[in-house]
């Protein structure tokens, strides 16, 4: 079974993202607007059990935090993705670093972790250019509190569902 770890912004942020994702993100129907914390991969039962124990420990040691999305950005030309970017990504980077230790340590990262909410992907270079030219002119000022980590499980149809939630509990 394939598992991944994400956080979900509040409904206000999800609705703003979904207005753009509906037409431009082929994964829109598979998972709500989210920020990936650790990429998905197949896990055996032992790894799932170790991951759950690890996520419980991480969530008990972390406090909820607030983040603000302040612009639309792009990974182009490395990847044909447009996304909502964070004003200060450091709280999400710290969360990622906390999670990606122990049994969830990453052997080799393919890229630098950049927390974001994907708005559009799998577009041509021309489509990326056109959308980015328009979307980057829109003001973005959306704040949300991150107070839980979600362990997701992918179904055989490709949709993602919540397998387990871990609330950030440190006062």
Catalytic residue positions? 34, 116
Neighbours of 50 (CB within 10 A): 15
- Whole-Å CA distances, 153 to 71, 82, 106: 30, 25, 19
Q: Would residue 133 be called left, alpha or beta, if left means φ above 0 and alpha means ψ between -120 and 50 degrees? A: alpha
Cα-to-chain-centroid distance, residue 121: 14
């Amino acid at each position: 079974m394939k598992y991944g770890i994400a956080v979900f912004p509040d409904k206000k942020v999800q609705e703003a993202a979904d207005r753009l994702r509906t037409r431009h993100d082929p994964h829109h129907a598979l998972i709500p607007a989210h920020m990936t914390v650790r990429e998905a991969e197949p896990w055996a039962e032992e790894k799932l059990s170790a991951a759950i124990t690890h996520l419980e420990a991480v969530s008990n040691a972390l406090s909820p935090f607030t983040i603000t999305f302040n612009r639309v950005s792009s990974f182009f030309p490395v990847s044909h993705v447009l996304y909502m970017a964070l004003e200060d990504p450091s709280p999400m980077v710290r969360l990622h670093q906390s999670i990606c230790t122990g049994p969830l340590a990453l052997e080799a990262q393919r890229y630098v972790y950049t927390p974001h909410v994907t708005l559009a992907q799998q577009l041509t270079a021309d489509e990326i250019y056109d959308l980015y030219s328009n979307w980057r002119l829109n003001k973005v000022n959306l704040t949300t509190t991150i107070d839980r980590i979600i362990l997701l499980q992918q179904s055989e149809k490709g949709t993602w569902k919540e397998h387990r939630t871990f609330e950030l509990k440190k006062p």
